[in-house]
Amino acid sequence: MAEQLSAQDWVDQGLKTLAKSGFTALKADPLAKAMGVSRGSFYWHFADIGAYHAAILERWRDVATEQIIASVKAALDPGRGEDPLAVLLKLTFGGRLALERAVRSWAANDSRAHEAVVAVDRRRLDFVEWLLKRAGLAEDVARARAQILFWTFLGFALSDQPLPPDRQQAVLDELLQIVER
């Protein structure tokens, strides 16, 4: 690789590797070989593997949660004519599910990853509850439906039984009707 790599290049490679090969593949030597650079490049950007793992978890949080929340909040603009709940379902159920599975597997084996997953889950639940309350649902109903949506997402994300796109859309349409009632 002719150009100098940035820390973000390493993190992006880490996310791809994590999704494809799991957390045990997040090691400096194999990643450097895959990127065609020396291991020194890794240590130029990260003090150690722990710092690298922290950066990967932070980037996962941003991609899998904060970017989705920003897109849903943008859909709240009345001029856009989008249903924020429909946008949420489309983005979460159509997202990087291999990465979601890999991070959750990692969390089952690593306390730092576990803490990151717990924090992301709390952020997601709080946001969905807020969104449902904003849509007019009572607090207790919004909390219960947020939990149901979250469990549904987890079941789907952890399943290795993908649905054809038309069937998935039909399920999401039905889920949206259930939540909005």
* H helices present in 22-138, as ranges: 28-35, 39-45, 49-61, 67-75, 84-93, 97-107, 111-134
What is the predicted pLDDT for the residue at 2?
Answer: 42
**Measured distance CA(69)–CA(73) in Å, rounded:** 6
What is the predicted pLDDT for the residue at 25?
Answer: 95
What is the predicted pLDDT for the residue at 1?
Answer: 43
**Measured distance CA(116)–CA(3) in Å, rounded:** 32
Cα separation values, 64 from 33, 35, 52, 178, Å: 27, 24, 18, 24
Residue range 83-97, pLDDT digits in tens: 999 999 999 988 779
Residue segments in the chain with a per-residue pLDDT below the cut of 70: 1-3
Decide: 59 and 19 in contact? Cβ < 8 Å: no
Place of tokens 């599910």: 97
| Structure tokens belonging to residue 65 | 């949660």
**Measured distance CA(17)–CA(12) in Å, rounded:** 9
Single pTM value for the model: 0.90
Residue range 115-138, pLDDT digits in tens: 999 999 999 999 999 999 999 999
